[in-house]
Amino acid sequence: MIIGHRAHTVADWKLDDLCGGAGRLDVLVRCVTAALWKSHGIRRDTDIWLILNGPPEPPVTVHFSGEKIRYLNPDERSTAALIRNGLIKFKNEGKPMETSPGITMERIGLEGVLEKLPNPILLSENGEDVMNGANTFVLGDDKDPTEEEMEILKNLPNISLGKESLLSSACVTLIHHRLGLSK
Ligand SMILES: C[S@@+](CC[C@H](N)C(=O)[O-])C[C@H]1O[C@@H](n2cnc3c(N)ncnc32)[C@H](O)[C@@H]1O
């Protein structure tokens, strides 16, 4: 799960401006690629949730199901296009909506997503706990969780992938690597 602090919640941005107008959506779509793509195929056992917390009406959560996803390509632009088209279709009716096969949007935020997912753990440079049994990994985008978000996350175990601050998408790749080693 990636917290997109400024990622826009309507499609008021252009595919050529993911870093600016879309509120650093580039970070989030890179994480989707790292989470779901292998060299020539999809990780059917993996899901990723993007929490869009930017203007105008946060939050919107986008769930990519590795099992069900279709039309996903490894490049950032086409993943962003799936999100953009989804935001155009998404209706604010208080229930989840599958905007394309394997992509579901819902008006819930960090707390609501956490309630749905098993054994969550927070990724942090300062973490000290071990990954034992974790199935859900919570990361910031280009920013760490805010104080308000940390209130929600305060009881989660914290794990570190080293003291160096890494790109969120690099952390996702390292998590896959660690999970692979422990199989
Ligand atoms: C680019 S970092 C966030 C900004 C960064 N902490 C900073 O201000 O320099 C994005 C997210 O990746 C995760 N992360 C980055 N480096 C990490 C590390 N060494 N160990 C664990 N998680 C890390 C954290 O969840 C972090 O919020």
> Could you write out the DSSP letters of every residue in 1-39?
-EEESS--SSS-S-GGGTTTTTTSHHHHHHHHHHHHB-S
pLDDT in tens, 29-75: 999 999 999 998 999 999 999 999 999 999 999 999 999 999 999 99
At residue 161, the pLDDT reads 95
What is the CATH class of 2-177? Answer: alpha beta
Amino acid at 115: E
Nearest CA, atom 9, ligand 1: 165
Please name the helix (run of DSSP H) or strand (run of DSSP E) that holds residue 169, with its range, or none: helix 168-181
pLDDT in tens, 72-112: 999 999 999 999 999 999 987 789 999 999 999 999 999 99
Please report, for the chain, the start and end positions of each structural domain, with discontinuous segments joined by +.
2-177
- Asked if residues 44 and 31 have their Cβ atoms less than 8 Å apart, the reply is no
- Residue ranges around ligand 1 (CB below 6 Å): 123-125, 127, 139-140, 142-144, 160-162, 164-168, 171
**And the tokens for 171?**
């952390």
- Distance, in Å, from the CA atom of 167 to the CA atom of 120, rounded to the nearest integer, reads 20
Amino acid at 111: E
**And the tokens for 92?**
């604010």
pLDDT in tens, 139-171: 999 999 999 999 999 999 999 999 999 999 999
pLDDT in tens, 110-138: 999 999 999 999 999 999 877 788 999 99
**Which residues lie below 8 Å from residue 157, measured CB to CB, with a gap of 6+?**
121, 122, 127, 129, 130, 134
Q: Which atom of ligand 1 is nearest to the CA of 161?
A: 20
How sure is the predictor about 183, in pLDDT bands with cuts at 50, 70 and 90? low
Q: Which atom of ligand 1 is nearest to the CA of 164?
A: 19
pTM of the full predicted structure?
0.96
